[in-house]
Amino acid sequence: MLKKLLGIGLLLALLIITITTFGKSEKTYPDEEMVTVQKLNEIPELPALDTYGMNVSDYDVTEDQIRRNESLYVILNRHGVGPETIHNIQQQARGKVNLNRMIPGQKYRIYKNDEEEATTFVWHRSATDYTTISWEDDIAIENGSIPETISVASVSGTIRSSLANAIQAQGVSQRLVVELANIYAWTVDFYGLRQGDNFKAIYENRHVEDTYVGIGRIKAAEFEHRGHVRRAYYFEYGDQAGYFDAEGNSMRRAMMRVPFDYNPRISSQFSHNRRHPILNQNRPHYGTDYAAPTGTPILASGDGVITEAQYRGGNGNIVQIRHNSVYRTAYLHMSRFASGIRPGVRVQQGQVIGYVGQTGLATGPHLCYRLYKNNTPINSVTYDFPPSEGLNPDYMDQFLVRVERLDAMLDELDASDRLAMN
Ligand SMILES: [Zn+2]
């Protein structure tokens, strides 16, 4: 859920990033289908059974889609199925499938036998998932799915105005922007992307039969931001999976840089000496102020234990979290705490701990966010956070083989890039 929120927040921000200093037009590259991992087997003879296991020569098949205000009852009744049969179907469906969840636009099929009696109904709950309901003899209800086929594609480009625009210009789903933003959320400042930054991605396209249903996983990606190249590789091992750099370090960080699911405006930077807006005297500001509307959820930037949740003078409602023996964070001026937030309670990264307010000494609603390393305040905006747990060394050999192969694919993109530029 958090990842999703983060992604959507980042996407919104990306959509509004514009760099106005240069007016160069978007450079586009042709889509590249690199490797087809899996192909539908070609069947030499006409299949006796259709996708749903029905012998098509025995039936007359009607294909249609669910319309507004249509229910199973309405559809089956129109095809001559009696109320009693429909009632029995609904009884038998309990615990297997919710027949009340029919949504306009979903596809369905009706199979009729030689006597033109409807005997089977196939309801497509999604492009892949379907339910077959048969009442020719006894009522039989079964859920099935059409296997997806995956092909591998790649995209690369140079950012002219925004990552979202650069990807859109190549006809690739905006979902890819969200996924890239998730992978790099901890390591690249997506809000600081600028004209001339380069990106590459090797990703999956999902198809059901001949229909494209969306992008799948990003297998590898590269970001060149301000001349610094970062590659990320997807790797699954045991029951864990994630993105790692070439050395097997996690692309995630132990702490989130910003304790929100979006990136609010910084209204006051970390500083060893600033003029206090209310006290009007110079004193250090050992935090970053984020201007945000009252009530905006504040997230725990890392796993940890609440050590303080109370009203304390100029700090207003403050929450402190001890993450480990080295790091702790503090969140000031909250309007209120999230329920259950009190000293001793364990929280997880991304969990809502309270809401933005202006309690204590504050001129407007904002969060003063403070990060301490060994009790010394440090600047959370510029600090290079340590990575989350890296790859299990047992899998390193296997991982490096994969990295080598993905590197070759990414390098290949490099070459085609240069070709396109010339
Ligand atoms: Zn502050």
pLDDT of residue 277: 67
Q: Which segments within 300-362 are labelled E, that is strand? A: 304-311, 317-322, 327-334, 336-337, 346-347, 352-355
Going from the Cα of 34 to the center of ligand 1, the distance in angstroms, rounded, reads: 50
What's the pTM?
0.60
Q: Pick the more confident residue, 317 or 157.
A: 317
State the distance from the centre of ligand 1 to the C-alpha of 284, rounded, in angstroms: 10
So what's the pLDDT on residue 103? 92
Q: How far is the CA of 294 from the centre of ligand 1 (A)?
A: 16
- pLDDT band at residue 144, thresholds of 50, 70 and 90? very high
Q: Cβ–Cβ contacts within 10 Å for residue 133, how many?
A: 24
Predicted local distance difference test score (pLDDT) of residue 272: 82
**Rounded distance from Cα 354 to ligand 1 centre (Å):** 16
Q: Over the stretch 268-325, which tens digit does the pLDDT of each residue have?
A: 999 887 766 666 677 889 999 999 999 999 999 999 999 999 999 999 999 999 998 8
- Rounded to the nearest angstrom, the distance between the alpha carbon of 188 and the centre of ligand 1 is 24
Q: Show contacts of 335-342: CB within 8 Å, 24+ apart.
A: 335/294, 335/295, 335/359, 335/365, 337/309, 338/297, 341/306, 341/309, 342/306, 342/309
- Measured in Å, residue 410 CA sits from the centre of ligand 1 at 43
Ligand 1 centroid–CA 287 distance in Å is: 5
Residues in the chain, how many?
Answer: 422
- Per-residue model confidence (pLDDT) at position 47: 53
**Domain 265-378: top CATH class:** mainly beta
pLDDT at 421: 35
Which CATH topology does 2-38+149-244 take?
Nuclear Transport Factor 2; Chain: A, (3.10.450)
pLDDT tens-digit readout, 338-373:
999 999 999 999 999 999 999 999 989 999 999 999
**Ligand 1 centroid to residue 348 C-alpha, Å:** 24
Distance 257 CA to ligand 1 centre (A): 16
pLDDT of 12 over the 80 cut = no
Ligand 1 centroid to residue 285 C-alpha, Å: 6
Task: Give the CA diameter of the chain.
Answer: 92
Span from the CA of 158 to the centroid of ligand 1 (angstroms):
37
Percentage above 90 pLDDT, the chain: 54
State the pLDDT at residue 390: 87
- Domain ranges in the chain are 2-38+149-244, 56-145, 265-378
Q: CATH topology of 2-38+149-244 equal to that of 265-378? A: no
Q: Cα of 303 to ligand 1 centre, how many Å? A: 22
Ligand 1 center–CA 153 separation, angstroms: 46
Torsion of CA 229, 230, 233, 237, to 10 degrees: 140
Cα 349 to averaged position of ligand 1 atoms, centre (Å): 22
User: From its phi and psi, is residue 264 left (phi > 0), alpha (psi between -120 and 50) or beta?
Assistant: beta
Between the CA of 356 and the centroid of ligand 1 the distance, in Å, is 13
Interval between CA 182 and ligand 1 midpoint (Å): 28
- Distance from Cα 273 to the centre of ligand 1, integer Å: 12
What would the pLDDT profile of 183-230 be if each residue is shown by its tens digit?
887 777 666 677 888 889 999 999 988 888 899 999 999 998 888 899
- Average pLDDT over every residue of 30-50: 47
* Residue 414: Cβ within 10 Å count: 13
Domain boundaries 56-145, corresponding CATH code? 3.10.450.350
Lowest mean pLDDT among 111-125, 254-268, 336-350: 254-268
31 vs 335: CA distance, rounded Å? 49
